[in-house]
Amino acid sequence: MAAMNIALIRGPGLTPWEIRIYEPLTPKNDITLFATTYTPQWVPRETPIAVDRCFWPDGYFAKIHSRGAWFFNGICSRILGIDHYMFGLENKLRGFDILHTYETHNTFSYQTFLAKKRYGGKLVVTVAETIPFRGESHPLRRAMKKMVVDGTDAFIAITERTRDMLLKEGIPDDKISVIPLAVDCRLFLPNAGGSNFRAQWNINQKEFVALCVARLVRE
């Protein structure tokens, strides 16, 4: 298979953990990550994947208050129908074979759709959302989301529940692939110690133990 130019558009959701999933593809493909200037979850690390940042002013508000960026984007979404707009993104996506964005309702996903329409390439959207018709409260956002959905070549659902949500939104089943999030087994090894922890909680040494860091919130 010939080498491909792959664009990963993540906006403010750039994380060092997701990058690991795509690093094995770099020897044979040219991969670039596109993010906003303010990425609160980003922790710098060495990676063969280039990161290209597009300006969006929410970082200024984050310096004023810890919830400043969230508040700014909320206002933009409710009033203007956009959030996390990535200035100059469309032109930067010229010449890519695959345009891989995140969630159908994100403004940068709509920008990615525009780039596909203008320059070509295949549009792939990874979806984690499980609530049908999310991000459709504003007329503009609803219209942009519809164009993204109609123009997407393939959807990656991270769970079966996400797949069910996409089906409820009218997306054809043959466009959806369920691919769970990966775990790097070079970093996370079963039975890699933990004897003191097992003894503290009276857990048998042969029992499988998993740690889940999550919110116990009903949604």
Q: CATH number, domain at 57? A: 3.40.50.2000
Is the pLDDT at 44 greater than 90? The verdict is no
Tell me whether residue 116 is in a domain: yes
Starting at the edge strand that comes first in sequence, how are the strands of the sheet with 50-54 ordered?
Answer: 50-54, 30-36, 5-11, 98-102, 122-127, 154-157, 176-178
Measuring CA to CA, which residue among 167, 28, 164, 4 is closest to residue 99?
A: 4
194 lies in some domain: no
- Give per-residue pLDDT as tens, 144-195: 999 999 999 999 999 999 999 999 999 999 999 999 988 777 777 766 666 7
- The answer as to whether 198 is a domain residue is no
Residue numbers of the domain that contains 33: 5-184
**Residue 217, in any domain of the structure:** no
Indicate whether 132 belongs to any domain: yes
Helices (H), the chain: 16-22, 58-64, 68-75, 89-92, 107-119, 139-151, 160-168, 195-200
- Distances from the Cα of 185 to the Cαs of 20, 93, 205, in angstroms? 11, 32, 20
DSSP 182: P
Inter-helix orientation angle 139-151/107-119, to 10° = 50
Give me the pLDDT at residue 173, please: 96
Q: How many C-beta neighbours within 10 Å does residue 80 have? A: 13
Reduced to 3 states (helix: H, G, I; strand: E, B; else coil), residue 37 is coil
Q: Residue 155: which H helix or E strand, with range?
A: strand 154-157
> Distance between CA 58 and CA 64 in Å, rounded?
10
Q: Report the 10 Å Cβ neighbour count for 200.
A: 9
Q: What's the token pair of residue 83? A: 């959030």
The answer to whether the CB of 47 falls within 8 A of the CB of 24 is no
CA 47 to chain centroid, in Å, comes to 18
How many whole angstroms separate alpha carbon 8 and alpha carbon 181?
16
Looking at the chain, the whole-number percentage of residues with pLDDT higher than 70 is 97
pLDDT class of 83 with cuts at 50, 70, 90 = very high
Question: Is residue 208 domain-resident?
Answer: no
Mean pLDDT of 19-30: 92
Q: What is the pLDDT of residue 218?
A: 73
Residue 218 belongs to a domain = no
Quickly state the pLDDT bin for 93 (edges 50, 70, 90).
very high
Domains of the chain: total: 1
Ramachandran category for residue 96: left, alpha or beta (phi over 0 → left; psi -120 to 50 → alpha): beta
